Amino acid sequence: MTAVNVAKAIIRKDIKKDQPCSCSIQDIKTELFNQFLLERIFINYDINPELQKNNELKRKILDFGKVAA
């Protein structure tokens, strides 16, 4: 149960408290895997993940494969 609560807290960190969040455990697993994979790509290709032009693309990649709510 602790792992589930920690995963939900990680996902909700970018969402305001008054906004609803309908995210499943599968969506959380998918986003965390996508984040891991994206970090590996940034490291291997020596890309700065903090560049402003990467923000929108990063969000699209992190959401890839999630089930639409």
Per-residue pLDDT of the chain (69 residues; tens, 9 = 90+): 788 888 778 777 777 777 776 677 888 888 889 999 999 999 999 988 888 787 888 888 888 888 865
Under 8 Å between Cβ of 63 and 31:
yes
Q: Residue 15 falls within a domain, yes or no?
A: yes
Q: What domain count does the chain have? A: 1
Q: Residue 52 falls within a domain, yes or no?
A: yes
Structure tokens at 28: 């959380």
Q: Residue 43 falls within a domain, yes or no?
A: yes
Q: Residue 69 falls within a domain, yes or no?
A: no
Could you tell me the residue range of the domain that residue 19 belongs to?
2-63
Q: Residue 59 falls within a domain, yes or no?
A: yes
End-to-end CA distance of the chain: 23
Report pTM. Answer: 0.69
